[in-house]
């Protein structure tokens, strides 16, 4: 998996109004970059908001592959294309939430290269494996930049050798920085600013029994001593180790070890506490994700039965169980690492949640119809490539499949989980079931609402056109979110309903009467 990180600023700026910034790229890059500030300054910088309030103004722009444009961060050009596309398919009120424009990234994976005396901690240069050092990244939460600076000091002081890809030598390969802004002891407005960083060090060895484990321990202790609870300024939440010796481009190995600090890592999103392990997927822009979840909740009826596909640790499905009091929620995810996070999140659901909740380790592309049965709402949050072809095909033919299921004396679909197929057995073995509410009456029914969350604009357009061309779905609403300011990537929330629009039906019936 390629590294996908975007630059940041040293302090989060106030929300930017939707205005156009007038400045030339040359002017923005003309000011010389200052030397790296000392560690305390990273956390307490009081630099005023720049006058070009929607410009990136990052010293790493162009050398770093993270950001692709530096002006008008609040409204990337792709938003205009999205607006025109949605108008062409009948949605005239597409809106776009620009959210936080700097210091928004709360999760980053960075390569560590160079030498112990001059470590490079950053992203690959576009199209290469040359690492660009990004100490002043404007996309990163400010405490990520502080933690990177502290790591740099530790690598030099302890003579830690960064990884050499060509030789396969060295000790520290990558680092993942994840910020938790969940701290109920602080007023809500202060929680983001005071976020603490979970540091995961990817070590070039098989396990903790390797010869260089003492150096790993020394580095962890250095971070904890200088950024932990006994330091002057605390910004380190915990330190973890991941062990990886593979020569491929996969960042993490399979073996993890908690070294120092809190083992639990929590966020608050969509009205619930969400547990995340270092190995599980987490949204980089937690604030924008929270905004999206709260928007999504409005389209799910109270008491509905929901299927959450590509569910990860179940943050979307569980937030609906809590806020919409769903009758049932089924979460389906192919990554087994998400199971533990799901279980921990369920433990913190509010006491009033009385849903039948389940999580299943399964590939959504394998017989997806079985997961849709008995649900009124299906939520899909696929990877950038879009929906699996088999799922898209089921959604396109959903009405005929539903008729067949209801007319069959003993539906073959309802028996699928009793069959001895390997994928069924795995899903049953690794599933988690909470609550025991009875299934929805008429369990052969299929969803009437499809909520599509997309991080890949091109694939979403193709999926959307395919669904609409089937005449089985209509697009009701579409919203855009600025998950990655500084890029042409936007997140889409689209709400589809079964059947044609009421106006179209009346129009057709009117024509028939006229001919009679």
Which contacts qualify for 49-52: CB closer than 8 Å, 24 or more apart? Answer: 49/13, 49/14, 52/21, 52/23, 52/28
Q: Are the beta carbons of 251 and 174 closer than 8 angstroms?
A: yes
Q: What angle do CA 168, 174, 175 make, to 5 degrees?
A: 160
Token duo for residue 462:
């193709």
The SS3 assignment for 321 reads helix
Using alpha carbons, list the distances in angstroms from residue 511 to 73, 388, 474, 500, 501: 49, 39, 21, 16, 16
Report residue 296 as tokens: 């999504």
Helix, strand, or coil (residue 306): strand
Strands (E), 262-318: 266-269, 272-275, 305-309
Residue 310, annotated ligand binder? yes
Is 381 assigned a ligand-binding role in the annotation? yes
Q: Which of 415, 483, 474 is nearest to 454 (CA)?
A: 483
Active site residue 455: yes
Half-sphere exposure of 118 (CA within 13 A, CB side): 4
- C-alpha dihedral sign at 319, 322, 326, 330: positive
Residue among 124, 140, 144 nearest 132 (CA)? 124
Distance between CA atoms of residues 288 and 24, nearest Å: 28
What tokens does 491 get?
């997140």
SS3 for 415-474, per residue? CHHHCCCHHHHHHHHCCEEECCCCCCCCCCCCCCEEEEEECCHHHHHHHHHHHHHCCCEE
Ligand-binding site membership of 448 (annotated): no
Sign (positive/negative) of CA torsion 38, 39, 40, 44? Answer: positive
Torsion region of 493: left, alpha or beta (phi above 0 gives left; psi -120 to 50 gives alpha) = beta
Q: Which of 278, 242, 258, 38 is nearest to 150 (CA)?
A: 38
**Contact (CB, 8 A) for 310 and 205:** no
DSSP H helices, 120-199, are 142-157, 188-191
Two tokens, residue 205:
């060895």
Instruction: Indicate the SS3 state at residue 216.
Output: helix
* 392: three-class secondary structure by DSSP: helix
16, 58, 67, 455: which is the annotated catalytic residue?
455
Q: Which residues are catalytic?
A: 455
- Residues contributing to the annotated binding site for S-adenosyl-L-methionine: 283, 310, 333, 381
- Residues contributing to the annotated binding site: 283, 310, 333, 381
């Amino acid at each position: 998996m390629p590294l996908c990180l975007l630059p940041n600023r040293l302090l989060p700026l106030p929300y930017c109004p939707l205005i156009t910034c007038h400045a030339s790229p040359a002017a923005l890059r003309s000011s010389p970059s200052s030397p790296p500030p000392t560690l305390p300054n990273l956390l307490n910088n009081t630099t005023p908001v720049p006058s070009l309030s929607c410009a990136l103004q990052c010293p790493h722009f162009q050398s770093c592959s993270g950001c692709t444009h530096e002006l008008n961060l609040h409204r990337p050009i792709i938003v205009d294309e999205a607006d025109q596309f949605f108008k062409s398919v009948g949605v005239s009120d597409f809106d776009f939430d620009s959210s936080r424009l700097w210091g928004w990234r709360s999760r980053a994976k960075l390569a560590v290269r160079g030498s112990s005396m001059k470590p490079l901690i950053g992203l690959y240069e576009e199209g290469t494996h040359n690492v660009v050092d990004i100490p002043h990244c404007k996309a990163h939460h400010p405490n990520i930049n502080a933690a990177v600076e502290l790591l740099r000091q530790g690598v030099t002081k302890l003579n830690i050798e960064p990884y050499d890809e060509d030789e396969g030598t060295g000790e520290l390969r990558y680092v993942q920085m994840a910020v938790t802004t969940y701290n109920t002891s602080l007023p809500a407005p202060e929680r983001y600013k005071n976020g603490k960083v979970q540091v995961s060090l990817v070590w070039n060895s098989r396990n903790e029994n390797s010869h260089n484990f003492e150096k790993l321990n020394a580095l962890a202790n250095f971070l904890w001593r200088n950024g932990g609870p006994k330091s002057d300024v605390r910004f380190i939440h915990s330190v973890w180790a991941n062990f990886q010796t593979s020569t491929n481009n996969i960042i993490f190995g399979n073996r993890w070890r908690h070294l120092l600090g809190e083992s639990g890592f929590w966020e608050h999103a969509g009205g619930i506490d969400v547990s995340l392990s270092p190995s599980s997927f987490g949204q980089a822009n937690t604030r924008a994700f929270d905004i999206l979840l709260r928007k999504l909740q409005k389209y799910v009826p109270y008491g509905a039965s929901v299927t959450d596909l590509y569910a990860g640790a179940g943050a979307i499905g569980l937030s609906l169980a809590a806020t919409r009091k769903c009758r049932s929620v089924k979460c389906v995810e192919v990554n087994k690492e998400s199971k533990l996070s799901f279980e921990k999140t369920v433990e913190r659901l509010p006491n009033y949640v009385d849903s039948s909740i389940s999580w299943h380790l399964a590939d959504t592309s394998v017989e997806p119809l079985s997961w849709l049965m008995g649900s009124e709402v299906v939520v899909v949050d696929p990877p950038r490539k879009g929906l699996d072809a088999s799922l898209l095909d089921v959604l396109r033919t959903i009405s005929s499949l539903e008729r067949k299921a209801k007319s069959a004396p003993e539906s073959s679909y309802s028996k699928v989980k009793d069959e001895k197929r390997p994928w069924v057995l795995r899903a049953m073995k690794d599933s988690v079931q909470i609550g025991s509410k009875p299934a929805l009456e008429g369990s052969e029914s299929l969803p009437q609402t499809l909520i599509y969350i997309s991080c890949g604009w091109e694939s979403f357009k193709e999926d959307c056109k395919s669904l609409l061309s089937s005449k089985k779905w209509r697009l009701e609403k579409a919203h855009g979110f600025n998950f990655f300011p500084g890029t042409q990537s936007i997140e889409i929330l689209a709400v589809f309903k079964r059947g044609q629009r009421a106006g179209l039906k009346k129009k057709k019936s009117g024509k028939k009467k006229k001919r009679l």
